[in-house]
Amino acid sequence: MSAPSHTSGALVALVALALLAASCGGAGTLSAKSLSQESKSLQSLASEGALLGWNAHAGRTTRIFTRVHSEELYKAASKAATSLRAAKTEPKLEPKLRNLTYLAGKVSADLKRLGHASKTEQALLAHELELAARTLE
Amino acid sequence: MSVKNVLAVALGILSAIGGFVDIGDLVFNTQAGATFGYQLLWVVVVGVVGIIVYSEMCGRVAAVAKRPVFDLVRERVGFGAGLGTLIASQIVNLMTCAAEVGGVAICLQLLAGLPYRALIPLAVVALVLSAWVLPFEWIERVFGYLGLGLLVFAVAAIKLHPDWGRVAHGFVPGHHVGGSLLVYLYFVVGLLGAAMTPYEVYFYSSGAVEDGWGLKELGLNKVTSMIGYGLGGFLSFSLMIVAGVLFLPQKIDPQFLGTPPLAAADTLGQVGLLLALVGILFAVGGAAIETSFSGAYNTAQFFGWRWGKKERPAAASRFTLTWVVIFALALLVVMTGYDPVKLTEYSVIFSVVALPLTYLPILLVANDRTYMGSNVNGRLANVLGVLYFIVIIAIAVAAIPLLIVTNGGQG
C-alpha cells in the first residue's frame, strides 16, 4: 500500500509544482529574455489580428467570429500592455521596455476597434497591425 | 462480408475519423506546425501507430476475455496500485473533460456571439442531455459524422499549396531547424500524448464489452482501430501543415481555439470557417462525452459496480451518477475562468505521465494465455507493444520536466 500512495503523493506534488511554475510570471523586473518573450507574444497577437482584419475585410469571416475573436486577442494584448506598464527593467533595457509598452497599447487599441470596425476600417486596422508586427520583429 | 457489413464498417470508420481529433490534437498540432512547420509530422505517425497498437490490444482483450481495462488493471496490479492508477486517470479525465467543455463553449461563442460564461452551463446541459438521451451508437455517429467538418483542414492544406517535398521530409525524424531543442522535445511529448489519449481507449474497450464483442469481432477490431485511427491521423497532418504554411511565416503562435478556424476562413471563406467551427464543436463535444463516460467506466469497473450506457440509468445508478458528477466538476473548473487551451496543454502532458500505468497491465494481459488463449499477442504485436512501452516510459519521465523548463512550449 505504501508504494502506490507515495507515487500518488509525488504525482500530486509534481502537478502542483508544474502549475505553480507555469503560472508564475507577470509584472516585476523584466530581463532581456522576458522582454524578448513579451515582444514575441505581442507580435503573434498583432499578426493574428492583421490576418483576421484582412479576412474580415475580404468577407471571409462572419461578423460574430470577427467580433468574438478580436475581443479574445484584445484581452490578451491589453493584459500584456497593463503588465508592461507596471514592469521595471535594468536601465539599459528601459528604451526597449518603453517602446514595447507603447506598441502593446497600440496593438491592444487596434484589436479593440477591429471587432466593430467597418470594412474600410478593417483594412486600415489590419495594415496598422501588420506594421506593428513588423516593428516587433 | 455482406454489403450491409461493409457499410456498417465504413460508417464506423467514418465516425472514428470524425471522433479522432479532440482539443488536445487541435492545440498541439497547430502549435507544433506554427513553431516547427512540417518537421514534427513524423511524431504524428508514431503517435497514431501507438494508439492503433494500444486500442487493438484493448479491443482484442475485451472481445476475448470480455473484460475492460480497469477490471484488468485492478486484478493485475492489485487494489492499492490500481487505486493509484484510477486516481491519476480520473484527474487527467477531469482535466480533459473540463478542457473539452470549455472548447465547446468557445465554439458556441464563435458561432453565436453569446457571452462565454453563459454558454458554459448551456454546453454542459446540452452534453449531459445528449449523453442521457442518445443511444451509444448515436453518440458515436452524431458527434463523429459532424466532426467530419474538420476535413475542411485537409482541403485547406491542399489549397495552401505547401512545398510537398518539405512535407514529405517532415515524415523523417532528424535535426530540427528553428526553436530550441527542449521546445522541440516538448512538442514531441505533447503530440504523442495528444495522439495516444487513454480515455479514447477506455471508451473503445468498454464499448466493445457493452456491444458484446466476441471472437468473430476480432477482424472488425483490427479494421476499426487501424483504418479509423490511421485515417484520423490525416486530420492531424492537415492541422500541422495548415499551421506550417499560414502561421509560421507570420510568426503567429496559436493560443486560442479561434485560431485554427481562421486558417479555414483564409483559404475557403465563410463556408470553410463555419465547417471548421461545426467540426471542432462536435469533435470536442464528442470527446467531452467520451471523457465523462471513460471516468465512469473506470470507476465502475474498478469497484465492480453495475455499469454500461446500455443499462437503464436507474439500474446502473452509481455509473450514471459518476459521469454526471464528472460533467458537474468540469463545469466548476471551466467556470473559474481558467483558459481551456492552457488546461488542454496540462491535461495532455499529465495524461502522458499516467499512460504507463494503464498500458502495462493491458500489455501483460494481451500476452497472457490464461486470459487470451490462442489470441495472445503475435510477434509483431509484441514487438510493437514492448517498443511502445519503452517510448511511453521515456515520454512519461520527460513530460513534466519539459513542461516546466520550456514554460509550456513558450521557450
Average pLDDT over residues B35-53: 96
Cβ atoms B203, B293 nearer than 8 A: yes
The beta-carbon neighbor of A72 closest among B258, B270, B408 is B258
**According to the model, what pLDDT value does residue A1 have?**
36
Distance from C-alpha of B117 to C-alpha of B337, rounded to nearest angstrom: 8
Per mean pLDDT, which range of B119-128, B216-225, B348-357 is the poorest? B216-225
Q: Which residues of B86-104 are buried (b: 16+ CB within 10 A; e: fewer)?
A: bbbbbbbbbbbbbbbbbbb
Whether residue B122 is predicted with pLDDT greater than 50 in this model: the reply is yes
Distance from C-alpha of B289 to C-alpha of B143, rounded to nearest angstrom: 10
Distance from CA of B3 to the nearest CA of A (A): 42
Cell of A83: 503588465
Strands A29-30 and A88-89: parallel
Distance from C-alpha of B209 to C-alpha of B204, rounded to nearest angstrom: 9
Distance from C-alpha of B208 to C-alpha of B203, rounded to nearest angstrom: 9
**According to the model, what pLDDT value does residue B111 have?**
98
Asked if the ipTM is above 0.85, the reply is yes
* Contacts for A27-34: CB closer than 8 Å, 24+ residues apart: A27/A83, A27/A86, A27/A87, A28/A87, A28/A88, A29/A87, A29/A88, A29/A89, A29/A90, A30/A87, A30/A88, A30/A89, A30/A93, A30/A97, A31/A89, A32/A93
> Which of A62, A116, A136 should we substitute to test contact with B (largest number of B Cβ atoms within 10 Å)?
A62
Q: What is the pLDDT of residues B254-298, one digit of tens each?
A: 999 999 999 999 999 999 999 999 999 999 999 999 999 999 999
Chain B: residue whose CA lies nearest to A1: B80
Pick the more confident residue, B120 or A18.
B120
Q: Say if B327 falls within a structural domain.
A: yes
Would the CA dihedral through A113, A118, A124, A126 be positive or negative?
A: positive
Distance from C-alpha of B3 to C-alpha of A105, rounded to nearest angstrom: 63
C-alpha to C-alpha distances, A131 to A43, A47, A126, B44, nearest whole angstrom: 10, 9, 9, 35
Distance from C-alpha of B27 to C-alpha of B320, rounded to nearest angstrom: 30
Instruction: Please tell me whether residue B178 adopts helix, strand or coil conformation.
Output: coil
Q: Say if B7 falls within a structural domain.
A: no
From chain B, pick out residues whose CB is under 8 angstroms from the CB of A73: 256
Distance from CA of A97 to the nearest CA of B (A): 20
Distance from C-alpha of A44 to C-alpha of B411, rounded to nearest angstrom: 14
Q: Which domain holds residue B86?
A: 21-405
Q: Output DSSP code: residue A62.
A: -
DSSP H stretches of helix in B211-312:
218-223, 229-246, 259-303
Q: What is the CA radius of gyration of chain A?
A: 19
Distance, CA of B37 to chain centre: 22
Interface of B with A (CB under 8 A): 80-81, 83-84, 87-88, 91, 109-113, 246, 250-253, 255-256, 258-259, 261-262, 265-266, 269-270, 272-274, 277, 342, 346, 349-350, 353-354, 400, 403-404, 407-408, 410-411
Distance from C-alpha of A107 to C-alpha of A122, rounded to nearest angstrom: 14
Cβ atoms B72, B407 nearer than 8 A: no
Average pLDDT over residues B190-205: 91
Distance from C-alpha of B337 to C-alpha of B209, rounded to nearest angstrom: 38
C-alpha to C-alpha distances, A36 to A3, A31, A40, nearest whole angstrom: 44, 9, 6
From chain B, pick out residues whose CB is under 8 angstroms from the CB of A44: 251-253, 255
Query: What's chain B's average pLDDT?
Result: 92
Q: For residue A116, give every residue at least 6 positions away whose Cβ sits within 8 Å of its Cβ, in sequence order, or none.
A: A67
Amino acid at B240: M
Q: What is the pLDDT along chain A (137 residues), one digit of tens a residue?
A: 333 444 445 555 555 555 555 444 444 688 998 999 999 999 999 999 999 999 999 999 999 999 999 999 999 999 999 999 999 899 999 999 999 999 999 999 999 999 999 999 999 999 999 999 999 97
The beta-carbon neighbor of B403 closest among A8, A11, A22 is A22
Chain A: residue whose CA lies nearest to B107: A65
Cβ of A60 within 8 Å of Cβ of B80? The answer is: no
Cβ atoms B392, B356 nearer than 8 A: yes
From chain A, pick out residues whose CB is under 8 angstroms from the CB of B403: 18, 22
C-alpha to C-alpha distances, B315 to B213, B309, B319, nearest whole angstrom: 22, 10, 9
Give the residues across from A88 on adjacent strands: A29
Would the CA dihedral through B279, B281, B282, B283 be positive or negative?
A: positive
Nearest to B202 by CA among B307, B104, B324: B307
The CATH number of whichever domain residue B274 belongs to comes to 1.20.1740.10
What confidence tier does B230 reach under pLDDT thresholds 50, 70, 90? confident
Cβ of A11 within 8 Å of Cβ of B353? The answer is: yes
Q: What is the pLDDT of residues B61-97, one digit of tens each?
A: 999 988 888 888 888 888 999 999 999 999 999 999 9
Q: What does the CA dihedral B405, B195, B268, B252 come to, rounded to 10 degrees?
A: 0
Nearest to B200 by CA among B2, B389, B25: B25
From chain B, pick out residues whose CB is under 8 angstroms from the CB of A68: 109-110, 113, 258
Instruction: List A residues 87-126 in contact with B (Cβ-Cβ < 8 A).
Output: none
Distance from C-alpha of A74 to C-alpha of B258, rounded to nearest angstrom: 13
**According to the model, what pLDDT value does residue A5 have?**
44
- Residue by residue, DSSP assigns B350-365 as HHHHHHHHHHHHHHHH
From chain A, pick out residues whose CB is under 8 angstroms from the CB of B250: 47-48, 50-51, 133
Whether residue B339 is predicted with pLDDT greater than 60 in this model: the reply is yes
Amino acid at B411: G
Nearest to B151 by CA among B21, B346, B286, B306: B21
Q: How many domains does chain B have?
A: 1
Distance from CA of B302 to the nearest CA of A (A): 16
Cβ atoms B13, B220 nearer than 8 A: no
From chain A, pick out residues whose CB is under 8 angstroms from the CB of B337: none
What confidence tier does B411 reach under pLDDT thresholds 50, 70, 90? confident
From chain A, pick out residues whose CB is under 8 angstroms from the CB of B258: 65, 68-69, 72
Q: Output DSSP code: residue A31.
A: P
Distance from CA of B408 to the nearest CA of A (A): 7
Q: For residue A120, give every residue at least 6 positions away whose Cβ sits within 8 Å of its Cβ, in sequence order, or none.
A: none
Cβ of A15 within 8 Å of Cβ of B350? The answer is: yes
Pick the more confident residue, B68 or B107.
B107
Task: Sort A120 into a burial class: Cβ within 10 Å, 0-12 / 13-18 / 19+.
Answer: exposed
**According to the model, what pLDDT value does residue B227 have?**
86
Cβ of B404 within 8 Å of Cβ of A17? The answer is: yes
Count of CB atoms within 10 A of residue B328's CB?
12
Instruction: Please tell me whether residue B247 adopts helix, strand or coil conformation.
Output: coil
Q: Say if B5 falls within a structural domain.
A: no
Distance from CA of A2 to the nearest CA of B (A): 8
Q: Say if B61 falls within a structural domain.
A: yes
Whether residue B165 is predicted with pLDDT greater than 70 in this model: the reply is yes
In this complex, how many residue pairs, one in chain A and one in chain B, have their CB atoms less than 8 Å apart?
Answer: 108
